Amino acid sequence: MTGPHRPIRTRPRSCGRPPAEAYDTALLDLDGVVYAGGEAVPHAVEALAEARGAGMRLAYVTNNAARTPRTVAEHLTRLGVPAEPEEVVTSAQAVARMIAEDLPAGSRVLCVGGEGLAVALRERGLEPVESADDGPVAVVQGYGGPEMPWGRLAEAAIAVGRGLPWYASNTDLTIPSGRGITPGNGAAVEAVRIATRWMRPAPEPKVAGKPLPPMHRETILRTGAERPLVVGDRLDTDIEGAYAGGVDSLLVLTGVTDAAQLLTARPEHRPTYVAADLRGLHRAQPEPVAAPGGGFSCGGWTASVRDGALVLEGEGDDPLDGLRALCAAAWTDAGEGVLRAGTDKALAVLGL
């Protein structure tokens, strides 16, 4: 993954080709990448059809544990993205595998989440229950949608307070919707954490979802990808998950992350590529190069750090090339840290 002195890396195997030609499988996040609030993100349907037509395999990898793979595949198909359940990998599947490796077959598990989590548990030979008084030997939390009753969190807190092992499909604090950003499963996990903070030592859940290794392992086991490209909208899950798995990543700016957050990303949050949307799968991405007078140039833009602040000059045709140059300058100057001065002014030049 990106290091402090090679800010946006193009691996030799890509040879300047579009990502859809350089990688065998796209591991696509869903919320904020393919759809938002149930509707397709602009250009996603056409871009994915083109990628599949070019021979790229598509896998849909989501931290959202609420729905089953079949339900997700049916939703994608209705949106114009034909998909099979086998092409969908969820954090519910990853956490269910984790629990099944820890507990005997047939164990009762307090399931605090949606249908997708309950189905994943059953597929691993576990029995989901809904009350702390139903004899569970473990607790698992997964996103249950905006309608999940508060009482389900109360059951989780009671069970965790009794000392039961605690699992979470993921800890994303937020999730994008068609109307804005809403609380994610991580917010529900925090509610249980607050309710059990009287315990010593304080309980901590075992987490399966992105960016942690169990989710990457589940994805590779199910897809068999050999040259995967992680495609996502979140730095702290998608991009960090790619970093942890040692694979390349493409950040699209259609979801949670904006250009300002990208410029101030820590090393483990720095993607290999950046694009406005999924059309970036089909465009060779220029790599910023060292400019003669200092800084980095890309597509007619030159970015540098002067007196501790980012400066952008030039008149390139593509604002994304300017953003790539800015990332190169900011990340190289910051090294393992974060550069913040001048980011707003530099991005204003690009209209980002």
State yes or no: is 238 an active-site residue. Answer: no
Catalytic residue among 29, 172, 233, 248: 29
For every residue of 165-199, DSSP letters joined together read: -EEES---SEEEETTEEEE-HHHHHHHHHHHTTTS
State yes or no: is 29 an active-site residue. Answer: yes
Residue with the two structure tokens 């950040």: 251
Convert 203-239 to b/e letters by CB count within 10 Å (16 or more is b): bebbbbbbbbebbbebbbebbebeebbbbbbbbbbbb
Distance CA 1, CA 206 (A): 25
Token representation of residue 168: 């979470």
What's the one-letter identity of residue 324?
R
Q: ∠ CA(210), CA(15), CA(242), 5° rounding?
A: 5
Catalytic residue among 31, 233, 238, 248: 31
Q: Which residues are catalytic?
A: 29, 31
